[in-house]
Structure 1
Amino acid sequence: MTHFPVYTLDTAPELSRPALNGLAQAFGRVPNIAGAMAGSSQLINGLVGVFGQVHGGSFTEAEIQVLLLTNAVTNTSAWAVAFHSFLALKEGLSETDVQAIRQRRLPQDARHAALSRLARALIENRGHLDDEAKTAFMSAGFNASLLLEVILVVAASTMTNYTASVAQLALDEFLEPYAWSA
């Protein structure tokens, strides 16, 4: 079995340290996922760049968390489900909507449901959306530009979801109350 170390600010490769430092400032700590990703400076720096675009985009932070939590559940990434459950609640999503997504159901909020439905369809269908899926998304008040932006969020979460699965990461202590299994 391959072991993936979880680096800290002090132990990370030199080229990964600036990204880890930025994530530590954003979260008050270096999450295990970032520590594991630091083993590849290209991956951790790519993550920071892509997530900068995600969080600087058109969606609210709550909408981003709907997408990221849906992606984590769809990709069966237990670490990411716990992390995005924590962040979704912090961003004001209701406990009911967070639980719905964790149980592979749609949130009650219609806009959030449209985001979740589209993200799940993108992942499950490997990017192939039928006209019905696109129309349902647009009918919820979104446009073609935002559909393309959902693809960015799916791409960003794929990096963390896959890393968490490949590295078989343990949950950070602060995430234990949000543990999830498929």
Structure 2
Amino acid sequence: MQRFQTLTTETAPTESRPLLEAVQQKFGKVPNLLGSLANSPAGLQAFLSISGALESSGLSPAFLEQVAITVAQENQCQYCLSAHTAIAKMQGVSDADILKARSGTASDAKEAAGLAFALKIVQSRGRVSDEDIATVRSAGYSDSEIGAIGTAVVKDIFTNYMNHVMGTPIDWPVVDLEIPVNA
């Protein structure tokens, strides 16, 4: 059930308008998540700032989408699962790896370790162990990349929770939260 109005560049608070205009120019549309977040200029700015910073993190856009899928599945956020599944496909992630990401794994061993670590962050509420850090390091991730995975997880938790709060209508091809058994 939608709880927050989905705003546009014309209806958003003055502080949110230039942010939505930049999104419109970059992507050709304003997704409902961002239109809903625009009700809080601070919330919209926070999301866009973290997202922008992650673009130069050294992690690939495709991998960041897989992280978002892992986190959305764990947090049962259908909006984010649907959005990031569609975006991952645009990034060239295979259907098989999209499905694997929903369980926190991947075909590539390094990506699998990164996604397992992302899932561990969510499940432990950030209280990962020394062993968890050692495992992700041994898979080939630098401390900078491990920090970026953590940052991506926090950004994704933020959007998952805000979608739950706002009741954001899904404007992507809808993905069922139940993982297919025979996939």
Instruction: Give the alignment's TM-score, normalised by structure 1.
Output: 0.91
- Judge conservation of contact 2:118–2:149 (CA < 8 Å) in 1: yes
Structure 1 partner of 2:106: 107
Equivalent in 152, 155, 177 of residue 181 of structure 1? 177
Question: Are 1:21 and 2:7 matched, yes or no?
Answer: no
Q: Aligned-pair distance for 1:19?
A: 1.2
Structure 2 partner of 1:52: 52
* Cα distance in 2 for residues equivalent to 1:43 and 1:105: 27
Structure 1 partner of 2:181: none
Q: Aligned-pair distance for 1:3?
A: 2.6
Structure 2 partner of 1:127: 126
Q: Would you tell me which structure has more helix in proportion to its own residues?
A: 1
Consecutive unaligned residues of structure 2, counting only runs of 5 or more, are 179-183
* Cα distance in 1 for residues equivalent to 2:146 and 2:56: 16
Structure 2 partner of 1:76: 76
Instruction: Give the alignment's TM-score, normalised by structure 2.
Output: 0.91
- Judge conservation of contact 1:4–1:36 (CA < 8 Å) in 2: yes
2:47 corresponds to which letter in structure 1? L
* Cα distance in 2 for residues equivalent to 1:77 and 1:152: 18
CA distance 1:27–1:180, shift in 2 (3 Å): farther
- CA deviation map 1:57-112 (0-9, x unaligned): 1111111112111111122111000111111111111110101223x252111122
1:157 corresponds to which letter in structure 2? D
CA RMSD in angstroms, aligned pairs only: 1.6
Question: Are 1:141 and 2:134 matched, yes or no?
Answer: no
Question: Are 1:163 and 2:162 matched, yes or no?
Answer: yes
Aligned residues: 178
Identity %: 28
1:119 corresponds to which letter in structure 2? A
1:96 corresponds to which letter in structure 2? A
Secondary structure of the structure 1 residue equivalent to 2:111: helix
Structure 1 partner of 2:8: 8
2:169 corresponds to which letter in structure 1? A
- Judge conservation of contact 1:66–1:115 (CA < 8 Å) in 2: no
- CA deviation map 1:9-50 (0-9, x unaligned): 111111101111122222210000001000000100111111
* Cα distance in 2 for residues equivalent to 1:180 and 1:160: 18
- Judge conservation of contact 2:57–2:145 (CA < 8 Å) in 1: no
- Judge conservation of contact 2:3–2:167 (CA < 8 Å) in 1: no
